[in-house]
Every structure is written in structure tokens, then in C-alpha cells.
Amino acid sequence: MFGLKTDWSLDVLPRYFSLEDYQGGMARWCPGCGDHGVLTAVQRICRDAQLLPEQTVCVSGIGCSSRFPHYMKTYGFHGLHGRALPVACGVKSRRPDLHIWVATGDGDCCSIGAGHWVHAIRYNMNMVVMLFDNNVYGLTKNQTSPTSQPGLKTNTHPRGAFLPPLNPSLTTLSIANVSFVAQTVDWNPPHVYATLKLAFEHPGLSFVRIFQRCPVFTPLVFEDAQSDPSLVMLLEDENGVTADAAGIKMYKNRVAHDPSDIDKAREIVSREDVLPIGLFFADPNRPRYEMMSSVGADTTIEEKLETFDKELDRFAI
């Protein structure tokens, strides 16, 4: 407008994000599903770290847990069955500045997506991978999954599953270049939050197995450990998961564990007499593939064309 100074500048107030800024659509999981608690924990971590929603990406495959991106007010990619990890790795390879959260299930990750799981662990790109493990295919209505316990009656095994279950944490600990493996339980929200927060702060791929109940098909799968805290073994270390008192006071079975000792981690995670939770292994110095794959990502179109022309000129006759 006439008469106004043209050399003024606008002071932009710092952006502050509340919990509501990360809450997307209304979660439509079944009442009592452990996914609700995990979603809340991730939203709290985003708020506490003040992550920019436009620089945060949630990626998933197919399954109940894979509805996760719909309930986060961030960027999201709801991919194909078993393909959450290659999508997440593709995003991270060209946009290493983005914060990546991956939601996958025991079927999505450990069955159809098993090949991608192995290579994603080896690539060790900086992201948090949350394995929602309820021991069953829930979205497709009660089929045996790779982690189903022997004897579990499902539509694919009406007389009970008969093969021993896969141990995803132990498998992950055996993959080359693994850098972070932890476990937690959905019925302990403070421990879930502390575990995922530690995973988010780790520089590399953080694999977190979340023992999670399906209220429809496997409501009693972890009943013994839930009703008797002595059957849960809490791993303790100054560099491990440090939940507040509400998250650990009920656990009397506590074991000091150095998360740099991968052999001891494999021994502990193999135990079947107790349910170990906490940080098994962490090595922040493992090589990360996005450090190499993102080289040149900031190259302009003009620079790319110039380089391309030079390469073509080599073949000119």
C-alpha cells in the first residue's frame, strides 16, 4: 500500500507442536488393541522432540499395525504386503534429513517381507522399525503367523500350530551390521515410550519388537507374563532403557546387561522361561548405507544434465 515502508521484515514466531499436531485420523483399531498405546508413544516422542511434521514419515506394509500412517498427521506411505522396509529405505536413501518410523507386523515383516527385513538390517539406515508382534495374522482374520506359539488354533491350523515359532529379535541379532535391538510389551506404556525414545535417538536402524496382544484372536497370548511380573526379565544398564518408576517398579526380576555385548544379548533373547524386555544390543558406530546412497542428492538439474552430456560426449564419433 502507498505510504508504507517497503524495507520492513516479518518476525516469524518459533513453531511449537502440541500432541494434537501429530494426531491424524481417528484410530480404528479394536478396543483393547495394543496398537493404540504404541501410537500414543510415538506421537509423544514426536512432540517432545518437536519433530517437524513435514520432515517426519511413517511407512507401513499390510496388517492391522500398518494402519499406523493414517493416524499420524505427518507424511505417510501405506505400502504393499511385506514391502514397508524397501519403501522406507528408498525414502531414506535420497532424503536422509527425514525422520522415518516403520510399522510392521510379525507376518508383514517375518513372512512375506523376510528378505527385505534381512537387507534393511544390514543397510542400517537411520530409522525406527517397530515390529508389532501379536503372534497371529489379525487383519485377515486369524491365520498362523511365523511367531505363533505351538498349539495356537487358527483358521489355517484348526488343530493348532505345530512348528516352533520364529524369534525375530534373535534373528535380527544374527544379521550382519545390526546396530540396535530391543523389546518391550504393550501393557507397559512407560516402558514402550522409553524404549521407542531410545530407539529414535540411536543413529542407525533401531529394531524394536513389541509384544502386543490382539484382543480378538490372541487376547491371552501373553497372559502369564502380564499377570505375573516375575516372568518378565528387565534388562538394566545406564545406556539402556530407563523408564520411570511406574514402568519398572513391578519387575523384581532384573538383570544387568551391557548392550555392547552381542553374544550375551543373543543368549538372553533366546530364553523361553522368561520374557526379557529392554535393550539387548546397540552399536552407534556401525556403517549406515544412507551416508553413501545420498551422495549427490543435492545436485541440481543443470549439474546433472551437464554431467550427462559429458558422459555422452565420450562416445561421440
What is the per-residue pLDDT for 5? 52
The CATH-assigned architecture of domain 19-288 is 3-Layer(aba) Sandwich (3.40)
Radius of gyration of the chain (CA): 22
Report the relative pairing of strands 136-137 and 143-144 from DSSP bridges. antiparallel
CA angle in degrees (0–180, nearest 5) for 25-26-27: 110
Of 103, 100, 124, the closest CA to residue 51 belongs to 100
Helix, strand, or coil here: 293?
Answer: helix
Report the relative pairing of strands 56-60 and 75-78 from DSSP bridges. parallel
Q: Copy the grid coordinates of residue 164.
A: 516352533
pTM of full prediction above 0.75:
yes
What is the per-residue pLDDT for 1? 45
90: number of Cβ within 10 Å: 14
What is the per-residue pLDDT for 12? 57
CA distance 16 to 19: 10
Is the CB of residue 43 less than 8 Å from the CB of residue 13?
Answer: no
Mean pLDDT by 10-residue block, N- to C-terminus, for the chain (317 residues)? 53 81 94 96 98 97 96 97 97 96 97 97 98 96 96 96 97 98 97 98 98 95 95 97 88 97 98 97 98 86 88 87
Bridge partners (DSSP) listed for residue 122? none
Helix (DSSP H) and strand (DSSP E) numbers for the chain: 11, 11
What is the per-residue pLDDT for 294? 85
Report the relative pairing of strands 180-185 and 205-211 from DSSP bridges. parallel
Of 259, 216, 261, the closest CA to residue 241 belongs to 259
What is the per-residue pLDDT for 83? 97
* Size of the chain in residues: 317
Helix, strand, or coil here: 233?
Answer: strand
Amino acid identity, position 161:
A
What is the per-residue pLDDT for 244? 86
